[in-house]
């Protein structure tokens, strides 16, 4: 067959785009009908269904003939579903701000761009917004592969009734940013969040030994500082650089190349099983020797895969502890239900913080 000319190829692309347009609108109409079906069920209507979204994203990646790779397809479908969900309800999602933080990036990665993402200054405020119903969901960081857990997030679950309904993972790249009037040789201070400064410690020791490191409450705030200071630099991500019109002087300066942060989606709903799920648990133990062994053993006995255990002071009497445990499986799985039954006899308190789909993209 003779090769097609550029014009002929473009005419074919136009024809495919017309089909895509028809199909996307057909999908959107079905989502509108889904919304009506949910409304007719009565009760408190929940439009956002994390388990279904995870299934859709996994399904588009299965048996994908290419040439687009599975992750690229999933990201496109992420946005299509986000737009369809916005026809059902435009979600308000609170995130740990200000604008330009990695948490904002995580929120958009998880929900797509059709939600209304609202920045809040502290993790407490994000929890409060969701608890009060002002926002439907919240996004908060929970652990970093270099720096460990975000204690504040874990501690918030001790008193909050909120549930975890999802997780997002983000590869974190840090850049040294400067403003338009700054000469690198004149820099006397570098601003960033304390965790970011820690994640770039070796690079800073090697490349900016005499420069003062100033910890501020977020990387985005650090970037904002450069508006008024010419002898300063900030360490933050690309989103903050774009947002504040800064130049990336040195890219990817994080000490660990696979630096990843995990974020949690918090809400008020129970999430049914998606097929590939995780569960987070809070366990308060009696202050007795062997208490930790007692809460770990049921997992081994039932063959349930623990992925993380953190201990925190319980804030209820000295030397009593709460354990935060993550494991594979959903609370409705028989093996997990068995573990929970045993733990309830063993511990003072056992609370499922949520069963939720494992991050897909």
For ligand PRE, which is the closer residue by CB, 253 or 265?
Answer: 265
Give, as ranges, the residues between 33 and 52 that touch ligand PRE (CB under 6 A).
34, 48-49, 52
Q: Is 265 in the site for ligand PRE (CB under 6 A)?
A: no
For ligand PRE, which is the closer residue by CB, 92 or 173?
Answer: 92
- Sheet strand arrangement including 277-284: 306-313, 321-328, 277-284, 349-357
Q: Is 326 in the site for ligand PRE (CB under 6 A)?
A: no
Q: Is 81 in the site for ligand PRE (CB under 6 A)?
A: yes
Q: Is 85 in the site for ligand PRE (CB under 6 A)?
A: yes
- Residues paired with residue 177 on neighbouring β-strands, in sequence order: 234, 248
DSSP string covering 189-230: EEEEEHHHHHHTHHHHHHH-TTSEEEEES-HHHHHHHTTT-S
For ligand PRE, which is the closer residue by CB, 53 or 129?
Answer: 53
Residue selected from 58, 88, 156, 294 as contacting ligand PRE according to rule CB under 6 A = 88
For ligand PRE, which is the closer residue by CB, 47 or 203?
Answer: 47
Min. distance of Cβ 272 from ligand PRE in angstroms? 11
Min. distance of Cβ 267 from ligand PRE in angstroms? 12
Site string for ligand PRE, 13-32 (x = CB under 6 A): ------------------x-
Rg of the chain over CA atoms, in angstroms? 23
Q: Is 351 in the site for ligand PRE (CB under 6 A)?
A: no
- Residues paired with residue 148 on neighbouring β-strands, in sequence order: 144
Min. distance of Cβ 46 from ligand PRE in angstroms? 9
Residue among 153, 149, 202 nearest 174 (CA): 202
| Alpha-helical runs (H) found in the chain | 6-40, 50-61, 70-88, 102-111, 123-132, 151-159, 194-199, 201-207, 219-225, 238-243, 291-302, 334-346
Residue selected from 57, 74, 84, 291 as contacting ligand PRE according to rule CB under 6 A = 84
Min. distance of Cβ 138 from ligand PRE in angstroms? 17
For ligand PRE, which is the closer residue by CB, 77 or 157?
Answer: 77
SS3 label, residue 124: helix
- Residues paired with residue 321 on neighbouring β-strands, in sequence order: 313
Counting every residue, how long is the chain?
A: 361
Cβ pair 266, 138 in contact under 8 A:
yes
Residues that bind ligand PRE (CB under 6 A): 31, 34, 48-49, 52-53, 56, 81, 84-85, 88
């Amino acid at each position: 067959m003779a090769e097609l000319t550029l014009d002929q190829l473009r005419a074919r692309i136009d024809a495919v785009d017309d089909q895509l347009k028809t199909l996307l609108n057909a999908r959107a109409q079905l989502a509108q009908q889904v919304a009506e079906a949910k409304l007719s069920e009565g009760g408190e209507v929940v439009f956002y269904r994390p388990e279904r979204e995870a299934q859709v994203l996994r399904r588009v990646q299965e048996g994908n003939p290419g040439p687009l790779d599975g992750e690229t397809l999933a990201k496109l479908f992420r946005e299509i579903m986000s737009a369809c969900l916005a026809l059902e309800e435009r979600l308000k999602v609170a995130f740990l701000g200000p604008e330009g933080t990695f948490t904002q990036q995580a929120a958009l990665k998880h929900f797509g761009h059709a939600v209304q993402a609202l920045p809040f200054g502290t993790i407490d405020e994000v929890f409060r917004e969701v608890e009060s119903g002002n926002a439907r969901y919240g996004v908060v960081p929970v652990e970093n592969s270099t720096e460990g857990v975000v204690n504040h997030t874990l501690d918030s679950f001790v008193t909050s009734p909120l549930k975890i309904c999802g997780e997002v993972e983000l590869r974190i790249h840090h850049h040294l940013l400067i403003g338009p009037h700054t000469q690198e040789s004149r820099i006397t201070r570098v601003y960033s969040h304390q965790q970011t400064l820690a994640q770039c410690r070796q690079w800073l020791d090697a490349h900016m030994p005499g420069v003062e490191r100033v910890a501020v409450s977020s990387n985005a705030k650090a970037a904002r500082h450069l508006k008024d200071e010419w002898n300063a630099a900030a360490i933050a991500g690309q989103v903050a650089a774009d947002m504040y019109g800064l130049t990336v002087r040195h890219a990817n300066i994080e000490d660990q190349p696979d630096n990843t942060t995990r974020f949690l989606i918090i809400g008020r709903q129970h999430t049914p099983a998606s097929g590939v799920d995780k569960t987070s648990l809070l366990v308060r133990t009696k202050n007795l020797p062997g208490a930790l062994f007692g809460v770990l053993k049921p997992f081994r006995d039932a063959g349930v895969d623990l992925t993380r255990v953190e201990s925190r002071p319980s804030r209820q009497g000295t030397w009593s502890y709460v354990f935060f445990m993550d494991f594979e499986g959903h609370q409705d799985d028989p093996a997990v239900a068995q573990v929970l039954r045993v733990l309830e006899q063993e511990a003072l308190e056992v609370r499922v913080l949520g069963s939720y789909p494992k991050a897909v993209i």
